[in-house]
Chain A
Amino acid sequence: MKNVIEIQQLVKSFGKTRVLEGIDLNFEASRISVVLGPNGSGKTTMIKSVLGMVIPNSGSIKVLGTDIQGQWDYRKNISYLPQIANFPPNLTALELVNMLADLRGGNQHTRELIERFGLGPFMRIRLSNLSGGTRQKVNILLAFMSDAPVIILDEPTNGLDPVALIRLKSLIAQKKSEGRSFLITTHIMQLVEELADEIVFLLEGKIYFKGTVSELKETFNENNIEKAIARILLTNNVA
């Protein structure tokens, strides 16, 4: 199967701390890959390296076959949902959507998403006056409105109510069936069970495990994913 993201020998340190210690990883097209790991394991640094926000010390990253080093145009192929939905306080949601559409170019599917998440009444209100949950919905709208083939979601369920969560899950499933590829980080194990085609478990800057949910359960001899993860952490003295 075709790889959308290819990471080779990725090394990154901040000062004296080595955060990523030579990661080799491929993400295949039309799949949902979930990146797990304790805090400080290098999840965010890896994702930020793919987005070009963190500049690696060595190694290479290819997105849809192009080496991304020193490039910026490749980012039109990636949609990103940041962990914290903090937007310019005095813009309205609608202006923010227009801004991003303006920056990205191409087709944007906003109307359908606004309806799906019931954002209609909030679009003309300043972002500083929206609640945390509504802001997260705007964040989701921004991440899903473009046609980018790769979608990276960093803790997408932050602050969502159950209804919005169900809608988000069906949205992810729908986009996957349209051939989009996902890279998700989360702490919600239920989401992992329901969505993940593949799990990548990072520990201290290395890949500790890569495989499906059932492979993870088998390997660690647990019938519950939460317990399997807890076992990894306990046997490695990180919890």
Chain B
Amino acid sequence: MYKILKYAFYDLIRSKWSYVYFAFYLLISGSLLFLTGDISKVIISLMNIVLVLVPLIASIFGVMYYYNSREFTELLLAQPIRRSNIFLGQYFGLSVSLSSSLFLGIGIPFLFFGIFRSAEIWNFFILILTGVLLTFIFSALAFLVALQNENKLKGFGFMLFIWLFLAIIYDGLFLLSLIVFKDYPLESLSISMSMFNPIDLSRVLILLKLDISALMGYTGAVFRKFFGNDNGLILSSLVLLMWVIIPVAFIARVSKRKDF
């Protein structure tokens, strides 16, 4: 698996899209830092960008990469390696290269702004961590969707719908359910609902760390009340990790039975 990962990473990190993605974060975080000069505010602004953009880019790149490398994958399938190693290698190659663009693009401006001498270092770390986790989660979902759909258009459409659903529609439904059931205790419902959405969960994770009650919203507040800050942090990171592990396990399983 490592050999495939290595070459997939070499290939992807040299693609112009990796540079564009890197440059985008460099520009945004650089200019935000330059304009406001307040690291803590910039982290919150970046959070809003990362929560929407990282899943979208990982979804698009994941589906595109799988379909574009179909013929090469066939060549790899004819080599003496396990099937699951091919797909896991490609998946990790993609996730690691996307994460590197994100990490370097945000990291370099913060480094110049003296993040290591700042009290915000852990908040910054959590921002990067959620960004990386979201990259791994949505690339895995994208790979899984592409593996199960031969038709490119269908695969693309379905993955974009998943993104749209988790990034936007879910919140609306969430809110609606809170209004409809407002006469009942809603703590456990809202906690479990946010567990099923990695984007919501990441938001809760960052806001718990930043400890900004005003931005937390209902779920964040319930989360803090239920688990306290530290336990809430640990729990939400663990659930996010499960969001990586389960789709990756499915990639390995689906790839074993598929005809190419």
Contact A48 B260 (CB under 8 A): yes
Measured CB to CB, the nearest residue on chain A to B18 is A90
> For the complex, is A65 an interface residue (Cβ under 8 Å from B)?
no
Give A206-232 as 1s and 0s: 1 = Cβ < 8 Å from B's Cβ atoms.
000000000000000000000000000
User: Contacts A54-B259, A55-B259 given: A88-B7 contact, CB under 8 Å?
Assistant: yes
Residues of A within 8 A of B76 (CB): 103
Query: Mask for B83-102, Cβ within 8 A of A = 1, else 0?
Result: 10000000000000000000
Which residues of B are found within 8 Å of A52, using beta-carbon distances? Answer: 77-78
Find the B residue at minimum CB distance from A105. Answer: B80
Please provide the chain A residues from 14 to 61 with a CB less than 8 Å away from any CB of chain B in the complex: 14, 48, 51-55
User: Given A48-B260, A88-B69, A91-B7, are A72 and B80 neighbors across the interface (CB < 8 Å)?
Assistant: yes
Taking a contact as CB atoms under 8 Å apart, the answer to whether B15 and A90 are in contact is: yes
Which residues of the partner chain A approach B12 to less than 8 Å between Cβ atoms? 90
How far, in Å, is B80 (CB) from chain A's closest CB? Answer: 4
Contacts of B4 in A (CB 8 A): 103
Contacts of B71 in A (CB 8 A): 82, 84-86
- Asked whether A51 lies within 8 Å of B77 as measured between CB atoms, the reply is yes
Closest Cβ of chain B to A146, distance in Å, is: 10
Cα-based distance from A80 to B82 in the complex (angstroms) = 16
Q: Which residues of B contact A80 (CB under 8 A)?
A: 75, 78
A176 proximal to B (CB < 8 A): no
Contact status A72-B81, CB under 8 Å: yes
A85 to B83, CA, bound (A): 20
In chain B between 7 and 31, which residues have their CB closer than 8 angstroms to a CB of chain A?
7-8, 10-12, 14-15
Give A105 to B81 CA distance when docked, in angstroms: 11
Could you say which residues of chain B place their CB within 8 Å of the CB of A90? 10-12, 14-15
- Interface membership of B117, Cβ < 8 A: no
Number of residue pairs across A and B with beta carbons under 8 Å? 74
Is B182 interfacial (CB 8 A cutoff)?
no
Question: Majority SS of interface residues in chain A?
Answer: mixed
Chain B residues with Cβ below 8 Å from A48 are 259-260
- Residue A169 is within 8 A (CB to CB) of chain B in the complex: no
Determine how close the nearest CB of chain B comes to the CB of A11; give it in whole angstroms: 13
Asked if B72 CB lies within 8 Å of chain A CBs, one says yes
Within 8 A of B (CB), among A99-141: 99-100, 102-105, 126
A74 nearest CB neighbor, chain B only: B80
Number of interface residues of B (CB under 8 A): 26
Q: Which residues of A contact B77 (CB under 8 A)?
A: 51-53
Interface size on A, residues (CB 8 A): 33
CA A142 to CA B15, docked complex, whole Å: 23
CB < 8 Å neighbour of B80 from A53, A76, A126: A76
Interface status of B79 (Cβ within 8 A of chain A)? yes
Report the bound CA distance from A225 to B4 in whole Å.
Answer: 43
Q: Any chain A CB within 8 A of the CB of B183? A: no
Q: Of all chain A residues, which has the CB nearest B16?
A: A90
* Contact across chains for B7 and A82 when beta carbons are under 8 A apart: no
CB-based contact B78/A51 at 8 Å:
yes
* Nearest neighbor of B259 in chain A, beta-carbon distance: A54
By CB atoms of chain A within 10 A, which of B4, B69, B80, B81 has the most?
A: B80
**Interface 1/0 per residue, B103-135 and A, CB below 8 Å:** 000000000000000000000000000000000
Known: A14-B259, A102-B3. A53 touches B11 (CB 8 A): no
Contact flags (1/0) for A86-99 with B, using CB distance below 8 Å? Answer: 11111100010001
CB distance from A82 to the nearest CB of B (A): 5
Could you give 8 example pairs across A and B, Cβ below 8 Å?
A52-B78, A53-B77, A80-B75, A82-B75, A85-B71, A86-B72, A88-B7, A103-B3
Given contacts A76-B80, A86-B72, 17 further A-B contacts (CB under 8 A): A14-B259, A48-B259, A52-B77, A54-B260, A72-B80, A72-B81, A80-B75, A82-B71, A82-B75, A82-B78, A86-B70, A89-B15, A90-B12, A95-B7, A99-B3, A103-B79, A104-B80
